[in-house]
């Protein structure tokens, strides 16, 4: 075959898809408990939405977007993240008139043109929440706790919560000046990459892994020391809420996230089991985004988490993720004359809510039993001329090997009782 899944993409085969379904269902369930409601936005949007929302200078906008021109001449981009589209929908549908705050969650694929690596793909699946219309620090804490609780509920035990504050437009700009003053005097001691960062986005200086740069920057001014009164009070309150909730966290002043829209609270949940891309999820507050997109002001906060990375962390720590294929009954057609009767029995079994399978390849009885065994069937139901003539159906317990004849008409209900009322195994 000449075709393969495009670079950086992959097929989620049944075994993995079942695990993803489990994780996603668990997420939807806990998101709802926290009062969030589902929303689906288009998988592509006007390029300008992301360019303005995420920031022209960011890596995402500069080199990672899947952009194309549609037949109407519009510049379209496959969504690289979920927040900007939701803020767009919030404005478009007047959600500021809904009971505030508006709490939404989403699940879906995102696209970024990057070199694939462990835990990073060109199409990846995110789960996320957004709460718009309030700048209450309690909401910041709620969102952070929701992320942690969800991860914990599906089996992630060891994870680190990093938090910081990016300040608001006012205090951040004065901080950036201070940082640039500091860096300008030491520019000769920094690596070429950092020299470039200095020009493009000084906040990124802290991302450098170069030890020499790290030493130089250790003495640099920190954003959290430059917060204005409002931002400082907000940050203190977020920490206070987390503390009351018994949530452990680490303040990381260098936690600078790659999207320009963040203000005040930013956070990231990391796992030591993921390799270089160690963030399971992250997010922050974006109080200026709605205005940046040309809408009415609307503060907001949210997070996104990558299901691929979550699944990796869960499997590394807890071994298995639930979500197995289970077969209740395999209907065995004893010979060709009864294949239609077998088919009808399977239909009636399914009508009782039982997972029923049968043979579609004309296999021998032995072959059918082998298949039933491979599929893990709990029961086999024999349909044969002799049983049919007597109005019976022979049931075989595939675990114990016991067999019994029951009236054909009552077989589905009889089996349903056995399957649903008796403990598995």
Task: Considering only residues 349 through 388, tell me which ones interact with RNA, judged by CB under 7 A.
Answer: 361-367, 369-374, 380, 382, 384-387
Least distance from RNA to the Cβ atom of residue 343, Å: 16
Q: Which residues contact 121 (CB under 8 A, 6 or more apart)?
A: 8, 9, 10, 308
Tell which positions 279-338 bind RNA, by CB under 7 A. Answer: 279-282, 304-306, 308-309, 334-335
Q: With binding defined as CB under 7 A, does residue 59 bind RNA?
A: yes
Q: Which of residues 127 and 231 has its CB atom nearest to RNA in the complex?
A: 127
Q: Which of residues 76 and 279 has its CB atom nearest to RNA in the complex?
A: 279
Q: Which of residues 199 and 229 has its CB atom nearest to RNA in the complex?
A: 199
Among 277, 339, 348, 355, binds RNA (CB under 7 A): 277
The alpha-carbon radius of gyration of the chain (Å, integer) is: 28
Among 101, 119, 155, 299, binds RNA (CB under 7 A): 119
Least distance from RNA to the Cβ atom of residue 143, Å: 13
Cβ atoms of residues 195 and 187 within 8 Å: yes
Question: Measured between alpha carbons, how far is 197 from 271 in angstroms, rounded to an integer?
Answer: 27
Among 112, 172, 239, 241, binds RNA (CB under 7 A): 112
Among 38, 116, 297, 322, binds RNA (CB under 7 A): 116
Least distance from RNA to the Cβ atom of residue 118, Å: 3
Tell which positions 121-150 bind RNA, by CB under 7 A. Answer: 121, 124, 126
Strand ranges across the sheet with 75-78? 44-46, 75-78, 66-69
Cβ neighbours around 1 below 10 Å, total: 3
Among 249, 265, 278, 288, binds RNA (CB under 7 A): 278
Tell which positions 81-100 bind RNA, by CB under 7 A. Answer: 81
Q: Which of residues 46 and 365 has its CB atom nearest to RNA in the complex?
A: 365
Q: Which of residues 220 and 228 has its CB atom nearest to RNA in the complex?
A: 220
Least distance from RNA to the Cβ atom of residue 72, Å: 27
Beta partners for 301? 131, 285
Q: How many residues bind RNA (CB under 7 A)?
A: 74
Among 244, 401, 424, 425, binds RNA (CB under 7 A): 401
Residue ranges of the alpha helices (H) in 251-306? 289-292
Q: How far is CA 198 from the centre of its chain?
A: 33
- List C-alpha distances in Å: 251 to 179, 206, 222, 233, 327: 19, 14, 12, 15, 49
Least distance from RNA to the Cβ atom of residue 190, Å: 13
Beta partners for 130? 104, 302
Q: Hey, what's the torsion of the CAs at 334, 336, 337, 342, to 10 degrees?
A: 60
Q: Which residues contact 17 (CB under 8 A, 6 or more apart)?
A: none
Tell which positions 248-267 bind RNA, by CB under 7 A. Answer: 256-259
Least distance from RNA to the Cβ atom of residue 234, Å: 21
Tell which positions 212-241 bind RNA, by CB under 7 A. Answer: none
- List C-alpha distances in Å: 421 to 392, 411, 416: 23, 15, 8
């Amino acid at each position: 075959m000449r075709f393969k899944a495009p670079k950086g993409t992959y097929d989620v085969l049944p075994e993995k898809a079942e695990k993803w379904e489990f994780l996603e269902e668990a997420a939807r369930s806990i998101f709802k408990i926290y009062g969030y409601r589902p929303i689906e936005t288009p998988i592509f949007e006007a390029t300008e939405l992301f360019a303005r929302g995420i920031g022209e200078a960011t890596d995402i906008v500069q080199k990672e977007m899947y952009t194309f021109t549609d037949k109407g001449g519009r510049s379209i981009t496959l969504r690289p993240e979920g927040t900007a589209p939701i803020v767009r929908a919030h404005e478009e549908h007047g959600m500021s008139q809904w009971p505030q705050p508006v709490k939404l969650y989403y699940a879906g694929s995102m696209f970024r043109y990057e070199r694939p690596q462990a835990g990073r793909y060109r199409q990846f699946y995110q789960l996320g929440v957004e709460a718009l219309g309030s700048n209450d620090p309690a909401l910041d804490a709620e969102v952070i706790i929701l992320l942690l609780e969800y991860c914990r509920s599906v089996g992630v035990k060891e994870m680190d919560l990093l938090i910081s504050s990016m300040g608001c437009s006012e205090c951040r700009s004065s901080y950036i000046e201070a940082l640039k003053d500091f860096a300008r005097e030491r520019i000769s001691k920094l690596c070429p990459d950092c020299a470039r960062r200095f020009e493009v986005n000084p906040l990124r200086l802290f991302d450098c892994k170069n030890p020499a740069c790290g030493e130089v920057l250790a003495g640099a001014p920190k954003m959290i020391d430059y917060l204005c009164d409002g931002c400082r009070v907000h940050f203190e309150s977020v920490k206070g809420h987390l503390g009351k909730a018994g949530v452990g966290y680490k303040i990381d002043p260098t936690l600078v996230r790659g999207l320009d829209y963040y203000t005040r609270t930013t956070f990231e949940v990391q796992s030591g089991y993921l390799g270089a891309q160690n963030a399971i999820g992250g997010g922050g507050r974006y109080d200026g985004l709605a205005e940046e997109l040309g809408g009415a002001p609307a503060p907001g906060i949210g997070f996104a988490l990558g299901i691929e990375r979550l699944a990796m962390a869960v499997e590394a720590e807890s071994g298995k993720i639930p979500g197995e294929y289970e077969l209740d009954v395999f209907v065995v057609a004893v010979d060709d004359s009864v294949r239609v009767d077998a088919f009808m029995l399977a239909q009636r079994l399914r009508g009782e809510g039982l997972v029923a399978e049968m043979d579609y390849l004309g296999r021998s009885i032995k072959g059918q039993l082998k298949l039933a065994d491979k599929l893990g069937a709990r029961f086999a139901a024999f349909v044969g001329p002799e049983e049919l003539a007597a109005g019976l159906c022979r049931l075989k317990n595939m675990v114990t090997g016991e067999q019994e004849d029951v009236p054909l008409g009552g077989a589905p209900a009889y089996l349903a009782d056995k399957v649903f009322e008796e403990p598995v195994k």
